[in-house]
A = this chain, B = another copy of it.
Amino acid sequence: MRIERIEQHQAFGGQQLKYRHHSDSLHCSMTFSLYLPKPSASPTSLIWWLSGLTCTDDNFSQKGAFQKYASQENVAFLIPDTSPRGELPDDEAWDLGQGAGFYVNATCEPWKQNYQMYDYLVNELPEIVYDLIPNYSGKESIMGHSMGGHGALIVGLKQPERFSAISAFAPILNPSNVPWGKKAFTAYLGTDETTWKTWDATELLQKVGEIHPPILLTQGTADPFYAVQLNETAFLANVKDTDEQVRYEKKEGYDHSYFTIATFIEEHLAFHCQQFHK
Contact A65 B254 (CB under 8 A): no
Q: Nearest CB to that of A16 among chain B residues?
A: B259
Q: List the B side residues contacting A262 at CB < 8 Å.
A: 11-12, 65, 67-68
Chain A, 214-255, CB within 8 A of any chain B CB: 220, 222, 253-255
Q: How many positions in chain A have a CB within 8 Å of any CB in the partner chain? A: 22
Q: Nearest CB to that of A62 among chain B residues?
A: B63
Q: List the B side residues contacting A68 at CB < 8 Å.
A: 65, 262-263
Report A175 CB to chain B, min CB distance, Å.
25
Residue A257 at the chain B interface, CB threshold 8 Å: yes
Q: List the B side residues contacting A263 at CB < 8 Å.
A: 10-13, 67-68
A158 to B65, CA, bound (A): 34
Q: List the B side residues contacting A13 at CB < 8 Å.
A: 263
Q: Nearest CB to that of A261 among chain B residues?
A: B11
Residue A207 at the chain B interface, CB threshold 8 Å: no
Interface residues of A (CB under 8 A from B): 9-13, 16, 62-63, 65, 67-68, 220, 222, 253-255, 257-260, 262-263
